[in-house]
Structure 1
Amino acid sequence: MGKNEINIIVAILGGLVLVLGLGSKKLEKHPIPATLVALLIGILLGPEVLDIIDPATLGGKSTILEHSARLVLGIGLVSVALRIPKAYPRQNWRQLILLIGLGMLLMWGISTLLVYLILGIPFWLAALIGAIIAPTDPIAASPIVTGPVAKKNLPERLRNAISFESGANDGLSYLFVFLPLLMLTRPEDEALSHWLTTTLLWEVLGATVFGLLLGYVAAKLLNAAEKRDMIQKDWRLVFTVALSLLAVGAGRLIKSDEVLVVFAAGAAFVQVVTEEERGEEERGQEAVNRFFSYPIFALLGTAIPWSGWHELGWSGLLLVAAVLLLRRPPVLLLLKPMLPSIKSTKDALFLGWFGPVAVAAIYYASMAEHKLKEPLVWDVVSLVICASVVIHGISSTPLSRLYGKSTGYRQDEQ
């Protein structure tokens, strides 16, 4: 790739963020979200339309998407951790374990079954795709739980539940993704042994402990620097961004689940810093999060496998509809009696509907495609992602307002 191509891409992505930023207040209240606008711009710039950006010519589509998604997830997951009240995990730990444990397992099972039955592909390949699309994405979920529309119409208990689940289950999904991935690439006995030892004990549990320790130490260092008046206020605004990058890079260096490392680091950081410090860090982190998140959706638009979608045909559209309608809502309705945050059927339906599929799925699908050399993974997952970006994006503002109006939240709970 020549210097001119690099400069063109940098200029376009910078211009995209600039334009979306100028209209950010309007877009926040508009039924068409900024993520969808970025996706449409990416399609326009992609090889099928203007042919200005083609990821296949930039060093490998799956590699570029995987590394870009890693970076965006790292920034976004710390933003999610900063958004969650300090006491929330301690007060709701039973509910959270149930939601991200049994809930995640059920969503993986349903997604796998739908892919297997509708597409008629081998079971372990279906299980891999099912694991990739099962978790709620923290980047796509952020516009649903932040901003004036969400704060005006959604109770904090729902916003916190979506935020924590979307942050934690992206890391936990590593377990579900790697089981079928190992079964597809290794002998069965070796795959199971590796999954139970290396994947579970080191890449997941080890990543959690390492992330918690990293976030705790970073927060203690920040507190010490503040106490001794050693750190400038401007530096504090980017401190958590640096923590995000450190966690992503260190997680990959120790060959663990870096997604889980980042969220654990953010969660531990929040428990140590003061509320005032956390508020300032949250504002800086959220701004950087938006700067990085819009380009990844534009990049997704340039990497859409149109021919692969065409080959999926009506089965692909049926799968999308089935996944969006059956992957989460039945699970949340089933678990409703055991989840204190869900006080009514409307709560369960709202929480069940808004489980968007986006950046985390881009990351896992790109990684799986790179390891398997199987384009079907990206064909199916990218179709579900784009459908989720469109449908969940368009429905978030009107359904949030409908929830607030139908439950009387604005009158009764504010």
Structure 2
Amino acid sequence: MILGGFAVAFTMVTILIKEQTYISEVVFGTVFGILMGPYVANVFDPRAWGGDRVTLEIMRIVLVVGLFAIGVELPRSFMLDHLRGLLVLVVPTMAFGWLVVAGFIVLLFPNLNFTSALAISACLTPTDPVISAAIIGGKFARKHVPQNVQRMLAAESAANDGLAYPFLSIAIYLTVESSRRVAIGKWFLVGWLYQVIVGTTLGAVIGRAFCLLMRISQRRGYIDRESYIAQYFALVLFTTGVASSLGVDDLLAAFAAGNAISWDGHFNEQVENEGFASVVDLLLNCGCFIYIGTWMPFNSFNTPELGITPWRLVVLFVAVMLLRRIPSVLLLYKWVPEIRGWKEAMLCGHFGPMGVGAVFVSTLALSRLPTPHFPPENQQEVLAANLQALVSFVVLGSVIIHGLSIPSFSLIGTIRSRSVKLISPTSTSSQSTSPDWLSFARRAPASVPHTTTVGGEDMESGSGQEEKESGVAK
């Protein structure tokens, strides 16, 4: 209740500031949570509320609502139409980042073996759908980020969040099981066939059945337009409850349910222009990141007896930001039809924030590990002692860097525009009036001429214009 009250008051202020500065609400929420947490004002301490179980369930609810919302808001049959690009972006990119980050963890923290490093890296593998929606779905990004990139990032963040389970489960099974054969067998049967395949199928069946039921109810006059929003959230909780009870991947189930509902576009038409869902989603996001700010274990960021020191954490964060996604996306983007050049690939590689999903997966991992002694007595306890310190530091850095990316690019674009006007005041009539921090992503390739309007006449630019000018000179 206290957290909800803070979230409501904070949301009102955040919306006003966000409209002017383009700074994501996740940054404000996290900073506000830190100020209210046990290390500053000590207004409330979530770690005193009952351990990691509360954190796990709060992150779960926020994630499933966000994933369901992404599934519903995607265009009809989007996942099928863009399956090739999504598979290329999700599976090899996640696997590459998982292995590379694990390698850096082993180098920086020698007390962790490679299997434990894989478990920690699995927590940092998924792209956070909540931060992605807050950044890519903002007003400035909606105006300047190409729509194909927005949708691909949203769909990818939702899909790879649920697929973090198999990456985590293989590392956990290898850590806790005595035999590698048993660990790999459980990973394949439980981690993939049951949790992922059954979870996705369950969500799709529930979502499709719900859609048909709503159609029948509407035709017979049993339900009105306003009731669709109520059923929207009821279905999220129902799908999550069923999936969790069966032990399958509830995140993928929620995303699949949202996709199944919007598959034919009927549900989207009924809830179009309804702002209630967006308001609730914003409220949950603000409350969640206030919680994350208060949850941050700052006292664990300098624990030399475990090999955790600030400089090691900073180096790890830089390695994660540079190597987790960008190299893989740059290598593979030619197989993704929705990405039209290396600059859009850089954008997709950069916007891979870590937040709610990383906190959720790391807390889930801790629930499967023993409570560590100090000093730890075995590798399982070493992993449990190091896990949240490493993950939470990277999450904190990601929230700040990714949350400030849009306003930073906006500021750079404004400075560049003003510099051009100062240097070439006579050519300002041919300059675009819109901010250009991502104009490269909206331009056609250099080999394809395009037109701009100058003085009421259409003139070719790019290579075609250069050829014309050279011809005239001749």
Q: Given the two structures, how large is their TM-score scaled by the length of structure 2? A: 0.81
Matched with 2:387 is 377
Does 2:99 correspond to 1:109? Answer: yes
Shift of 1:21: 2.6
- Per the TM alignment, residue 89 of structure 1 is displaced from its structure 2 partner at its CA by 1.9
1:362 maps to which residue?
359
Q: Does 1:129 align with 2:130?
A: no
Whole-Å Cα distance in 2 between the matches of residues 257 and 266 of structure 1? 15
Cα gap change, 1:146/1:28 in structure 2, threshold over 3 Å: closer, same or farther?
A: farther
CA contact (8 A) 2:3 2:287 kept: no
Aligned residue identity for 1:140: I
SS in 1 for 2:163: helix
Are the equivalent residues in 1 in contact too, given 2:353–2:399 (CA < 8 A)? yes
Counterparts of 1:353 and 1:369, CA distance in 2: 28
Per the alignment, residue 335 of structure 1 pairs with 332
Contact kept, 8 Å, 2:120 with 2:387, in 1: the verdict is yes
Amino acid in structure 1 at the alignment position of 2:66: G
C-alpha spacing 1:18/1:224, structure 2 compared with 1 (3 Å): farther
> 2:461 maps to what in 1?
none
Specify every segment of 5 or more residues in structure 1 that has no aligned partner in the other structure, as ranges: 1-9
Of the three residues 144, 150, 156, the one matched with 2:141 is: 150
In structure 2, the partner of 1:404 is 438
Task: Classify 1:336/1:59 alpha carbon distance in 2 versus 1 (closer, same or farther; 3 Å).
Answer: same
Q: Which residue of 2 aligns with 1:78?
A: 68
Residue identity opposite 2:405 in structure 1: S
Which one-letter code corresponds to 2:108 in the other structure?
Answer: I
Mapping for residues 299-338 of structure 1, pairs under 5 Å? 299-311=291-303, 312-313=308-309, 314-338=311-335
1:166 is paired with a residue whose SS is helix
Residue 209 of structure 2 aligns with which residue? Answer: 217
**Corresponding residue for 1:279?**
272
Q: Which amino acid aligns with 2:231?
A: F
Contact 2:326-2:349 at 8 Å conserved across structures: yes
Aligned to 1:185: 176
Q: 1:31: Cα distance to partner?
A: 4.5
**Per the alignment, in what secondary structure is the counterpart of residue 23 of structure 2?**
coil
Quote the Cα distance in structure 1 between the aligned partners of 2:134 and 2:3.
23
1:389 correspondence with 2:399:
yes
Alignment pair present for 1:227 and 2:237: no
- Which of 249, 262, 267 is equivalent to 2:259? 267
- Work out the CA distance in 1 between the residues paired with 2:9 and 2:30: 15
Once the two structures are TM-superposed, the CA of residue 196 in structure 1 deviates from its matched residue by 1.1
Point out which structure has higher relative CO (alpha carbons under 8 A, 6+ apart): 1
Corresponding position of 2:47: 56
Partner Cα separation in structure 2 for residue 147 and residue 106 of structure 1: 29
Which residue of 235, 247, 252 maps to 1:255? 247
When residues 93 and 307 of structure 1 are mapped into structure 2, their CA distance, relative to the original with a 3 A threshold, is same
Q: Is the 8 A contact 2:55 2:363 kept in 1?
A: yes
1:353 to 350, 373, 390: 350
| 2:24 aligned with 1:14 | no
Q: What is the Cα deviation at residue 298 of structure 1?
A: 1.1
Q: Which residue of 2 aligns with 1:141?
A: 132
Residue type matched to 2:299 in 1? S
SS at match of 2:228: helix
CA offset at residue 278 of structure 1? 4.8
Amino acid paired to 2:98: W
Partner in structure 2 of residue 90 of structure 1: 80
Question: How much identity, in percent, do the aligned residues show?
Answer: 27
Question: Aligned-pair distance for 1:409?
Answer: 5.2
Which amino acid letter does the alignment assign opposite residue 208 of structure 1?
A: T
CA distance in 2, matches of 1:214, 1:200: 20
Matched, 1:66 2:56: yes
TM-superposed deviation, 1:402? 4.6
Cα deviation for residue 345 of structure 1 reads 1.4
Number of equivalent positions? 402
SS, match of residue 334 in structure 2: helix
SS at match of 2:263: helix
Greater helix content: 1
Structure 1 residues 85-125: Cα deviation after superposition (integer angstroms, max 9, x where no partner): 11422221111111112222112122222222222221111
Letter matched to residue 79 of structure 2: P
Deviation larger for 84-93 or 35-44 = 84-93
- Give the conservation status (yes or no) of the 8 Å contact 1:31–1:393: no
Contact persistence 1:223–1:273 (CA under 8 A): no
Q: Give the C-alpha shift of residue 351 in structure 1.
A: 0.6
Q: CA deviation at 1:189?
A: 2.4
Determine which of 197, 206, 228 is the counterpart of 2:198: 206
What is the match of residue 462 of structure 2? none
Separation in structure 2 between the aligned mates of residue 412 and residue 391 of structure 1, nearest angstrom: 36
Q: For the aligned residues, what is the CA RMSD?
A: 2.0
> Cα distance, 1:16 vs. partner?
2.8
Give the number of the structure whose alpha-carbon radius of gyration is greater: 2
Amino acid at match of 1:138: P
Does 1:118 pair with 2:115?
no
SS at match of 1:261: helix
